Amino acid sequence: MERSEGDVSAADLPSIIDLAPDEARRAQTESVTASGTKRNADKLLEVRGLKTQFFTADGVIQAVDDVSFDVGYGETLGLVGESGCGKSVTALSIARLVPDPPGRIVAGQIMFDGIDVLKLSNEAMRKLRGKEIGFIFQDPLTSLNPTLTIGYQITEGIREHMRLSTRAARDRVVELLAKVGIPRPADRLKDYPHQFSGGMRQRVMIAIALSCDPKLILADEPTTALDVTIQAQILELIQKLSDEFGTAVLMITHDLGIAAGMCDRVNVMYAGRIVETGTVDTMFESPQMPYAWGLLDSLPRIDDIRGAKLRTIEGLPPLLIAPPDACRFGPRCRYARDICREDEPELTARAGEGHLARCWATEPGGWIS
Amino acid sequence: MATSSTVLERRVAKPKQSAGLWSDAWGRLRKNRLAILGLVLVILLLTAGLLGPIIAPWNYQVQDLQAVFANGNRPVPPFSPGHLLGTDSLGRDLLSRLLDGARISVTVAFVVQIVILTIGVPIGALAGWFGGNLDNALMRFTDVIYAFPDLLFIILLSVAFRETAFGQALDGLFLVFVAIGLTSWVTVARLVRGQLLALKETEFVEAARAIGVSDRRIVTRHLLPNGLSPIIVAITLGIPSAILAESTLAFIGVGVQPPRASWGSLIADGEKYVRGDPHLVLFPAVAIALALIGFTFLGDGLRDALDPKLKGKQ
């Protein structure tokens, strides 16, 4: 999982775009060794103690509760978990796009490339979005404005953040569309979203996310709305381009297969908290949290008996209004003991490097080894 | 990836240049006979308004007294030589006066809508986009305006400003435009607010935010164009009410100053002769009716054409 964590400055990009992918990667590695100076911090993204809450009539929903993680330059980090566990809200918090009201980031620190995101003015934040942080949304069918042309929508970020002439901006858009695999890009600038298929629209969304050479892409379930064959193409594309551009990716997904295939490291989230984190290899070889086992076990296998029921994790995630001081997965965990219901475990180290889990049972001295 | 895209390139012939909203809408509108009838009437009205003085056989204030004398001091009846629609009791050619009135009606129709748009769209957009207290304040203000008796307000305004330069501008019409506009922006404001409330929750707005588009651009470039269809319909359907309001005001003597005459004041003038010379009331009334029918049919047709899903509802 060693990977060159390089970022590419805007200045080197056009030349790289012209190169074939392999040459580009080589050129990129070279430019990184020559000028690692573009980095303003050790880690591209450092999230510390993030708490995002939604203030509703029923009470305060603690959607993201004390979440901390890092994303290195050029790294792909997976954020895995079932619906409603806070993955998307985490991503929205990083870009400060949580709808307010009712949502608010109540505590924590988000350092992006040495910048304290939560202290930025709204205007400064707006300049960061799209330029340094790209966003790929779940549903390409609704994320494009039906009344504006594709060309306009891709140019929008470029116009907002880069000083390019109309012509240069247009050329860049054509280049981007070609990069994301849209045939005859120059002819399609004047087309509207409804003239593109779902997969093609997601390619357009990727082009928009990449339009200003962001250092980080937040991909919020980018393939959930697409069918399986298109999924593979889109993931391959995201991976290829993020390698090529040296962009870090925060890949949010509920699909462990995607996480295994794309990510360097994986965070498993449950009920607003990170319950396990580690490199993809350790996570999949020796998961240390019954929830992660459940997730892995619920994947259909090729050797399953035909017609057999799919395996599920019994029960539902807890409501995030006033969660008790106990293991949040406890009520659904078949290994739970009294301590799990009385005290919440911390994220503690496990065998592999950087492997942490939040589970009493698998801690050293626990009842599962 | 490379292979897949070349395959795509070979297989997919250039899709027929899709129509887009406007030509789609035009295609649907064309199939709607009533709408086309409305469109024809509107075009006739516009032509009359634009070219009125050029095609009019007489100047609207010239008196053909000889013809009146020849008719025993009575208004010349319609279909007389030289006066297709007859004259009034002062010998002024009715057709020419109707054509001049068309000009007034067209001006009223459009200028009032511009006033409505300049007030209604910003208020609705601000309320819908920012929500919260601003929304509350603006909408309560809108409710107050809505509850206000329109005609009374316009009459008061006209009387109060009649003698000022403001009241005299454009033969007294300017005052009428502003007065009608000031009372009728409410519908558009509410419409725009409703559109924005619904649209601002859409994902493409979130996506636009995520690439750092400013609020202002999001509202003007992303939201308003998406909410345009109902606004266009409201405007088209608002024109007949403006024409009607102007005619009503002219009938009761508010607004355009003699010797110019709008259709409403023509009816008021002809009222005295309605027994002997009904044409003096009939023709302006028909003109008003045709204009109203034209815009209403066109508006209904536009609504169906711009939003096919809405058809049959409302």
**How many A×B Cβ pairs under 8 Å?**
92
The answer to whether residue B8 neighbours chain A at the CB level (below 8 Å) is yes
| C-alpha–C-alpha distance, residues B47 and A225, integer Å | 52
Longest dimension (CA), chain B: 93
Could B206 and A137 be called an inter-chain contact, meaning their C-beta atoms sit closer than 8 Å? yes
Which residue of chain B comes nearest to A180, CA vs CA?
A: B1
Chain centre distance of CA A203: 17
Tell me which of B211, B223, B306, B309 to substitute to probe the interface with A (most A C-beta atoms closer than 10 Å): B211
Which residue of chain A comes nearest to B201, CA vs CA?
A: A99
Quick one: DSSP state of residue A44?
A: S
Residue A340, helix vs strand vs coil: helix
Judge if the upstream peptide bond of residue A101 is cis by omega within 30 degrees of 0. yes
- Spatial CB neighbours of B62, under 8 Å, sequence gap ≥ 6: B92, B93
The answer to whether residue A97 neighbours chain B at the CB level (below 8 Å) is yes
Could B211 and A147 be called an inter-chain contact, meaning their C-beta atoms sit closer than 8 Å? no
What integer pLDDT is reported at residue B310 of this predicted model? 54
Name the strand (E) or helix (H) holding A158.
helix A150-161
Could A130 and B212 be called an inter-chain contact, meaning their C-beta atoms sit closer than 8 Å? yes
The answer to whether residue A55 neighbours chain B at the CB level (below 8 Å) is no
Q: How many helices (H) and strands (E) does chain A have?
A: 13, 12
Residue A47, helix vs strand vs coil: strand
What tens digit of pLDDT does each residue of A18-68 get?
Answer: 444 444 444 444 334 333 436 777 788 889 989 898 888 888 888 888 889
The answer to whether residue A283 neighbours chain B at the CB level (below 8 Å) is no
Could A142 and B204 be called an inter-chain contact, meaning their C-beta atoms sit closer than 8 Å? yes
Sheet strand arrangement including A115-116: A59-71, A45-56, A103-112, A115-116
Name the strand (E) or helix (H) holding A63.
strand A59-71
What integer pLDDT is reported at residue A29 of this predicted model? 41
The first and second tokens of residue A150, run together, are 């594709």
The first and second tokens of residue A44, run together, are 């591209």
What integer pLDDT is reported at residue B126 of this predicted model? 92
Residue A52 amino acid letter: T
Residue A62 amino acid letter: Q
Domain B21-61+96-310 has CATH 1.25.40.10: no
Residue A142 has pLDDT above 90, yes or no: no
- Spatial CB neighbours of A229, under 8 Å, sequence gap ≥ 6: none
Predicted complex ipTM: 0.74
The residue with tokens 């994303």 is A71
- How many angstroms separate the CA of residue B25 from the nearest CA in chain A? 14
| C-alpha–C-alpha distance, residues A261 and A283, integer Å | 13
Alpha-carbon distances of B252 from B247, B265, B292, rounded to whole Å: 9, 8, 19
Chain centre distance of CA B50: 15
Please give the average per-residue pLDDT across A250-266, as a whole number.
86
What integer pLDDT is reported at residue A113 of this predicted model? 87
Pairing outcome for strands A273-279 and A265-270: antiparallel
Pairing outcome for strands A216-220 and A248-253: parallel
Please give the average per-residue pLDDT across A123-148, as a whole number.
86
The first and second tokens of residue A340, run together, are 């799990």
Instruction: Pick the closest to residue A63 from A303, A307, A318 (CA basis).
Output: A318
What tens digit of pLDDT does each residue of A170-209 get?
Answer: 888 898 888 888 888 888 888 888 888 888 888 888 888 8
**pLDDT band at A272; cut points 50, 70, 90:** confident
**pLDDT band at A2; cut points 50, 70, 90:** very low
What integer pLDDT is reported at residue A17 of this predicted model? 43
- How many angstroms separate the CA of residue B27 from the nearest CA in chain A? 18
- Full 3-state SS string of A173-204: HHHHHHHCCCCCHHHHCCCCHHHCCHHHHHHH
The answer to whether residue B211 neighbours chain A at the CB level (below 8 Å) is yes
- How many angstroms separate the CA of residue B305 from the nearest CA in chain A? 16
Alpha-carbon distances of B162 from A163, B16, B178, rounded to whole Å: 54, 59, 13
The first and second tokens of residue B85, run together, are 């629609």
What integer pLDDT is reported at residue B19 of this predicted model? 54
- Spatial CB neighbours of A362, under 8 Å, sequence gap ≥ 6: A288, A289, A350, A368, A369
Domain ranges of chain B: 21-61+96-310
The first and second tokens of residue A130, run together, are 């799209």
What tens digit of pLDDT does each residue of A100-130 get?
Answer: 778 888 888 898 888 888 888 888 888 888 8
| C-alpha–C-alpha distance, residues A47 and A93, integer Å | 10
Which chain B positions have a beta carbon within 8 Å of A145's beta carbon?
Answer: 204, 208, 222, 226
Could B212 and A157 be called an inter-chain contact, meaning their C-beta atoms sit closer than 8 Å? yes
Which residue of chain B comes nearest to A96, CA vs CA?
A: B210
- Full 3-state SS string of chain B: CHHHHHHHHHHCCCCCCCCHHHHHHHHHHHCCHHHHHHHHHHHHHHHHHHHHHHHCCCCCCCECHHHHHHCCCCCCCCCECCECCCECCCCEEHHHHHHHHHHHHHHHHHHHHHHHHHHHHHHHHHHHHHCHHHHHHHHHHHHHHHHCCHHHHHHHHHHHHCCCHHHHHHHHHHHHHHHHHHHHCHHHHHHHHHHHHHHCCCHHHHHHHHCCCCHHHHHHHHHHHHCHHHHHHHHHHHHHHHHHHHHHHHHCCCCCCCCCCCHHHHHHHHHHHCCCCCHHHHHHHHHHHHHHHHHHHHHHHHHHHHCHHHCCCC
What integer pLDDT is reported at residue A8 of this predicted model? 43
Could B211 and A129 be called an inter-chain contact, meaning their C-beta atoms sit closer than 8 Å? yes
Quick one: DSSP state of residue A344?
A: P
Could A147 and B210 be called an inter-chain contact, meaning their C-beta atoms sit closer than 8 Å? no
| Whether A54 contacts A30, CB under 8 Å | no
Chain centre distance of CA B193: 21
Could A130 and B5 be called an inter-chain contact, meaning their C-beta atoms sit closer than 8 Å? no
Sign of CA pseudo-dihedral A177, A181, A187, A193: negative
Other Cβ atoms less than 10 A from the Cβ of B191: the count is 20
Alpha-carbon distances of A305 from A255, A301, A302, A308, A334, rounded to whole Å: 21, 9, 9, 6, 24
Which chain A positions have a beta carbon within 8 Å of B14's beta carbon?
Answer: 184, 187
Which chain A positions have a beta carbon within 8 Å of B212's beta carbon?
Answer: 126-131, 157, 160-161
Could A233 and B4 be called an inter-chain contact, meaning their C-beta atoms sit closer than 8 Å? yes
Which residue of chain A comes nearest to B203, CA vs CA?
A: A143
**pLDDT band at A157; cut points 50, 70, 90:** confident
What integer pLDDT is reported at residue B100 of this predicted model? 86
- Low-confidence stretches of chain B (pLDDT < 70) are 1-21, 308-314
Which residue of chain A comes nearest to B20, CA vs CA?
A: A192
Residue A320 has pLDDT above 90, yes or no: no
Which chain A positions have a beta carbon within 8 Å of B213's beta carbon?
Answer: 130, 156-157, 160
The answer to whether residue A181 neighbours chain B at the CB level (below 8 Å) is yes
Other Cβ atoms less than 10 A from the Cβ of A3: the count is 13
Tell me which of A147, A160, A176, A187 to substitute to probe the interface with B (most B C-beta atoms closer than 10 Å): A147
Predicted TM-score (pTM) of the model is 0.74
The answer to whether residue A143 neighbours chain B at the CB level (below 8 Å) is yes
Residue A217 has pLDDT above 80, yes or no: yes
Could B210 and A161 be called an inter-chain contact, meaning their C-beta atoms sit closer than 8 Å? no
